[in-house]
Structure 1
Amino acid sequence: MDYTALKIKVTDIVSQSGLLCEDKLLKICHLLRDSIDYYDWVGYYFANHERRELVLGPYAGEATDHVVIPFGKGICGQVAVSNQPFLVEDVAAQDNYISCNIQVKSEIVVPLFVAGKNIGQIDIDSNVKAAFTADDQQFLEEINQMVSVLFV
């Protein structure tokens, strides 16, 4: 997998003028899902700190019922509280997992920081157990760093 080529494409998307932020994020979600075979669902959730919940933003993949997730609930909700990436090799082994699709076997969630504040996260599901590695985490942290300029 060529993470470098994907990062160049993400940089190009982020820098496109005339596109709304949501459209750029949607293009990035589709790019990642279409380019990495074990990225079966890719989406962004954004934090509403006053209500202590995450709200679904742009995504690529099957529709989900989880459009609002309370802080602390599920993998995404835990990342909203911990501010740390969370890589889950086997979602069935997680007590606090929210099932979006019975096909999902593993998940990675990486927070999105702007000026040191967690404003949301990228959430990726895979239908393959133990699909994600430390390389995926580093790659997604870099993607989120590129995306963060959209919110400054």
Structure 2
Amino acid sequence: MQFDSLKSEIIQIINKPDADVLPKMQAICDVLQANISYYDWVGFYMAHATEPTLHLWSQAGEPTDHTVIPFGKGICGQVAVSNKNFVVDDVHAQDNYIACSIHVKSEVVIPLFKDGKNIGQIDIDSNTAKAFTASDERFLEWVNEQVATIL
């Protein structure tokens, strides 16, 4: 399975001694977007320390204007409030969806926890409808666990 083969590559990125956090997070975005065919956009949004907003730290795929997202707005903003995974099979059926690209059909957002606190999330957009499965959720939870170790 492609997820298992990517785990060792992600561990290598996490354990790279000469790289800072942001380049490591960027490398993870790049690896996921390049190696999983239906991961068309991959990004990490991190919670601001004092304001209820998410800030884009790294991303792979088309550039986005959505670099700051208020808690509660869009799928990412909802995950910041709910602390739960959110899988959207059809983004056009979501009332609170923030459109980043006309090509996006589905999205998955997985919260990133550090010491039990939701400090951010990984956000994946796909140009394929119903692209994400429970296997994607488990894999992305694992990715976030690895990222949490360097934050």
- Please report the TM-score for the alignment, with normalisation by the length of structure 1: 0.98
Which blocks of at least 5 consecutive residues in structure 1 are unaligned?
none
Q: Which amino acid aligns with 2:48?
A: N
List, as ranges, runs of 4+ consecutive aligned residues in structure 1 with deviation greater than 6 Å: none
What SS does structure 1 have at the residue aligned with 2:75? helix
- Aligned partner of 1:132 in structure 2 is 132
Task: Give secondary structure in 1 for the equivalent of 2:47.
Answer: strand
CA deviation map 1:33-78 (0-9, x unaligned): 0010000000000001521000011110111000100000000000
Distance across 2 between alignment mates of 1:92 and 1:68: 21
Q: Percent of pairs identical after alignment? A: 55
Counterpart code for 1:58: S
- Partner residue of 2:50? 50
| Aligned twin of 2:36 | 36
Q: Please give the secondary structure, in 2, of the residue aligned with 1:102.
A: coil
Structure 2: tracts of 5 or more residues without a match: none
Task: Determine the C-alpha separation between the residues in 1 that align with 2:48 and 2:147.
Answer: 18
Q: How many residues align?
A: 151
SS in 2 for 1:32: helix
Contact kept? 2:79, 2:86, Cα under 8 Å: yes
Query: How many angstroms does 1:8 deviate by?
Result: 1.0
Query: For residues 71-118 of structure 1, what are the alpha-carbon distances to aligned partners after superposition, in whole Å with 9 as ceiling and x for unaligned?
Result: 000000000000001000000000000000000000000000000011
Q: Name 2:119's counterpart in structure 1.
A: 119
Quote how far apart the aligned CAs of 1:2 are: 1.9
TM-score, L = length of structure 2? 0.98
Give yes or no for the alignment of 1:90 onto 2:90.
Answer: yes
- 2:2 maps to 2
Distance, in Å, in 2 between the alignment partners of 1:118 and 1:31 is 24
Following the alignment from structure 2 to structure 1, what is the Cα–Cα distance between the partners of residues 85 and 49? 18
User: Is the aligned partner of 1:12 residue 2:8?
Assistant: no
Using the alignment, how far apart are the partners of 2:75 and 2:51 within structure 1? 18
Structure 2 equivalent of residue 71 of structure 1: 71
CA RMSD of aligned residues (A): 0.7
